[in-house]
Structure 1
Amino acid sequence: MVDLRSRAGRFAIVGLLILLPLLLQQIDDYILHIAIIIGIYAILSLSLNVIVGYAGQFALGHAAFYGIGAYTAALLMLHGSASFWLALAAAAAVTGLFGLLLGSPVIRLRGDYLGIVTLGFGEIVRLIFVNWVDVTRGPMGLPGIPAPSLFGHAFTEKIEFYYLILALVLLTYFIINRIVHSGIGLNLLTIREDETLAQSVGIRPNPYKLLAFSLGACFAGVAGAYWAAYISYVSPDSFRYLDSVNILAMVILGGTASLPGSILGAILLVLAPEILRYMNDYRMMLLGLAIILMMIFKPSGFWGEKHRKYNFYGLAQKGGRK
């Protein structure tokens, strides 16, 4: 039995993910499409977990960063003749900046108040997409977004998009995993549990909260840029309040402050509506009931946060307290 927590176990999982589409492609492109959507939501869930799970900030506007990334990449590729890779980097930078701008005035808010402000931010961004017709074409959206290309080869097959989203998911997981398992991650958890205690031991909460907002927004922008290139069309309908709630549900169901839990939550909430599609009239009701039962009997999520042990001196040498 392979231990999933070992390095060999992780390599086995990555190898399976690389080989899996070669088998799935023989079945149906629809399966690959679902796998791609899971990858997009895995990035969104991982990025939101930095804000909600590690920094303890109740954010309800994550779809806004997703949309900003999508529109930034789409406009650059359509009107700026930028390549997908340049547009991807620009989308990450722009959404990271917006995360910093949003975080600066709201980091002193907590709980429901913070949720209301971020919800308002998400709706403001969506309304800008709808009403700024000269730039976004309003409800008509932006069609004809070019596909990514690599060494002169344009992506046309779903299996190519699958490998691209797989690479982005692995890169996102690697970067976030390194950050949250460093002194920065410990400081974020300390701030989440007791901000007063964190200040008493020399941890300044505001810079870490801003870092969490910027980092989460940055990777949401990456997901948005990929979505724009994959669908080749963006419109305001793709970035609604319910999408933010759906991403938050993935984080909570999978397990807050748990990166594998974020991916598991994305898999469950993308697959569940598809599995229940034959019960179209009742599937959302059944999905809601399942979520309620989950929160009652397993509130920490399917793959909840595990207790981590730290060596104080080793952490201090890495600059854990700043």
Structure 2
Amino acid sequence: MARPGAARPGGVPWPVVARSPAARRLGACLFLAVIAAVVTGPSGDADRPLAGIEGSFTPARAAGFAAGGLALWALSIGADRLTTRLRSAGHGAALGGGRLAALGGGAWVTPAGAAWASFRRGRWAAFRRGRWSAPAGNLALLAVAVAVPPLLSTAAQQALVSEIGIYALLALGLNVVVGYAGLLDLGYIAFFAIGAYTTAYVTSADAMPWHAPWQVNPFFALPVALVVAAVAGVVLGGPTLRLRGDYLAIVTLGFGEIVQLLANNADGVTGGPRGVFGLPPLSVDLPGVHYSWGLRPLPYYYLLVVLIVLVMVVFGRWERSRTGRAWTAIRQDEVAAEATGVATMRMKLLAFAVGASVSGFAGVVLATKQFFNPQTFGLQSSLLVLTIVIFGGMGSRLGVVLGALVLQGTAFLLRDTVPPADRYIYFGAVVILMMIFRPQGLLPPRGPRAPASPGPAAAPERPAVPTERAGAPGPAGPAASTEAAR
């Protein structure tokens, strides 16, 4: 006998209803409605920081946005049901010769249905299997990234896309460490700081109290910062990568805090809390080639786009190589990977060095385009980059770029409504919801393609087994079997 209150009147237990796809989708739609209400609501002030949130949920606004969330949920459910019915009626000539033909259009609907079914079985099916989807998605994102920023009218919007590019580059580097090799690094932002301060050290004698005896062009600081950050990654990883899990995360967290404290307290070396400013802008000065990025944000943005595309291409080739397969084996089971001959320590050091070098790249761009100080490289920035990787999809290159776009764009929309210190509450809520409803991330990595099916194979013939008479084994058994065979 069922316990009272354990089931709905229809007989389905409430926990089952709450875990159903429709209930989860309803929760996601209502969450989007709440975010939309906060973003479009009034802004608070320093005395009452929650006044904006209170004004966002007046009875009229709450009812309107709740109705909008329910409408979005109903549309998504209806779209799924319509898609299911069309798919069930669209195989072969049934799409044209079935119910639609009965409406009076059978003479021309049947060929159309057959053509559509053929297209679905052919190129569209190949597209959905991933043969064209990844290149098409990358090209579409690249086209948007190149075409949209010049249309932005305000300097704040142009600075936003440049900041999105920096965080996307940082997330791509951390994706190697966390997404490929499965190493939780909470001090990743320290390599970002190392790249920025290295650039200031080798490019300007006026910006730093302690600087190099020789100065180089800021553009040539890119390889210098890459090498210095990679060496820092190896120096950190050498003694610490024998740790695993939470222990490694705690050690890397301490490394990030040490770098920030050194930058903040070593006034005679880094400039201290006042930060670094006045660096020469990024420029190329070669025979016959001279170009300066100046102080405008868009040229730096397009440089970041080039760096992001280059990093994505290199990491894509790397992912399909022996190194990428070794990282995958370490992430899945390090003990088994080491037992099969993978040099786990060397592969983990390589992952740390590669991720740190990409972070050093981003540090060069940051140092040459704007002012920075030790507060730029705090724990919150490191957690934000990790949030981008988790939100976009660990191991997915395109996913982390989309994650940087969504999260940084959301922070820009919340700038007039939510105080800067409170925005991380929303980021944490987004990560929690993502872990509940879509733990694989916004755009998870594609798995390895399944090999082509060889087709049904004929069942092997069962070998003839000589039967023996039931009874105790003895010398008469084989003799009896031989006699029966004769």
Structure 2 vs 1, CA of residues 40 and 308 (structure 1 numbering), >3 Å: closer, same or farther? same
Which runs of 5 or more residues in structure 1 are unaligned?
312-322
Give the aligned residue type for 2:221.
A
Over the aligned positions, Cα root-mean-square deviation in angstroms equals 2.0
2:183 aligned with 1:49: no
- Match in the other structure for 1:218: 357
Question: In the alignment, which residue of structure 2 is the partner of 1:5?
Answer: 133
- Counterparts of residues 134-213 of structure 1 (less than 5 Å): 134-150=268-284, 151-156=289-294, 157-213=296-352
Letter in 2 for 1:305: P
Residues 78-124 of structure 1, C-alpha deviation per residue, up to 9 Å, x if partnerless?
13421112111101110000001111111111111000000000011
Q: Give the Å deviation of 1:283.
A: 4.5
Mapped to 2, the partners of 1:183 and 1:310 lie a distance apart of 19
Contact 1:253–1:294 at 8 Å: present in 2 too? yes
Give me the whole-angstrom Cα distance separating, in 1, the residues matched to 2:240 and 2:424. Answer: 33
Quote the Cα distance in structure 1 between the aligned partners of 2:141 and 2:425.
33
Q: 1:310 to 1:101 in 2, by over 3 A?
A: farther
CA distance in 2, matches of 1:8, 1:49: 22
Letter in 1 for 2:163: I
CA spacing shift, 1:261–1:9, aligned 2, 3 Å: closer
What is the correspondence of 1:119-134 to structure 2 with a 5 Å cutoff?
A: 119-134=253-268
Alignment CA distance shift 1:49-1:310 (3 Å): farther
Q: Structure 1 residue 164: deviation in Å? A: 1.2
Q: Distance in 2 between matches of 1:10 and 1:250?
A: 18
% identical equivalent positions:
38
In the TM superposition, residue 213 of structure 1 has moved relative to its aligned partner by: 0.2
Q: Is the 8 A contact 1:272 1:287 kept in 2?
A: no
The offset of 1:158, in angstroms, is 2.2
Correspondence for 2:250 among 96, 116, 123: 116
Q: Please tell me whether the aligned partners of residues 71 and 234 of structure 1 are also in contact (alpha carbons under 8 angstroms).
A: no
Q: Secondary structure at the match of 1:115?
A: helix
Q: 1:15 aligns with which of 143, 146, 149?
A: 143
The number of residue pairs the alignment matches comes to: 308
**1:1-322 correspondence to structure 2 within 5 Å:** 5-7=133-135, 9-24=137-152, 27-79=153-205, 80-150=214-284, 151-156=289-294, 157-231=296-370, 233-281=371-419, 283-309=423-449
Q: For 2:280 and 2:360, locate their aligned partners in 1 and report how far apart those are by CA, in whole Å.
A: 18
Which residue is equivalent to 2:121? Answer: none
Q: Which moved more, 1:146-155 or 1:51-60?
A: 146-155
> 1:28 offset after TM fit, Å?
1.8
Cα distance in 1 for residues equivalent to 2:175 and 2:426: 25
TM score, norm. by length of structure 2: 0.60
Larger Rg: 2
- One-letter code of the match for 2:387? A
Post-superposition shift, 1:9? 5.0
Would you tell me which structure has more helix in proportion to its own residues? 1
Give the secondary structure class of the aligned counterpart of 1:225: helix
| CA distance, structure 1, for counterparts of residue 450 and residue 216 of structure 2 | 45
Distance 2:334 2:293 in 1: 47
Measured against aligned partners, the alpha-carbon deviations of 1:117-170 in whole angstroms (never above 9, x if no partner) come to: 000000111111112211111111221011011333322222212211111111
280 and 16 in structure 1: CA distance in 2 versus 1, 3 angstrom threshold:
closer
Q: What residue number does 1:318 align with?
A: none
Cα distance, 1:306 vs. partner? Answer: 2.6
Deviation at 1:278, TM superposition (A): 3.2
Instruction: Tell me how far apart the structure 1 counterparts of residues 330 and 446 of structure 2 sit (CA, whole Å).
Output: 17
Secondary structure, in 3 states, of the residue corresponding to 1:304? coil
1:243/1:304 Cα in 2 relative to 1: closer, same or farther (>3 Å)?
A: same
Matched letter for residue 439 of structure 2:
P
Distance 1:21 1:209, change over 3 A: same
Shift of 1:235: 1.1
Q: Could you say which structure has the greater relative contact order, defined with CA pairs below 8 angstroms and 6 or more residues apart?
A: 1
SS of structure 1 residue aligned to 2:448: coil
Single out whichever of 144-153 and 83-92 deviates more from structure 2. Answer: 144-153
Q: 1:221 to 1:279 in 2, by over 3 A?
A: same
- String of CA shifts for 1:231-262, please: whole Å, max 9, x gaps: 1x221110011111111111111111111111
Task: Tell me how far apart the structure 2 counterparts of residues 255 and 200 of structure 1 sit (CA, whole Å).
Answer: 29
Distance 1:194 1:155 in 2: 46
For residues 239 and 284 of structure 1, the distance between their equivalents in structure 2, rounded to whole angstroms, comes to 16
Q: Answer yes or no: is the 8 Å Cα contact 2:300–2:365 preserved in 1.
A: no
Query: 1:201-242 deviations in whole A, cap 9, x for unaligned?
Result: 2111111000000000000000011001111x2211100111
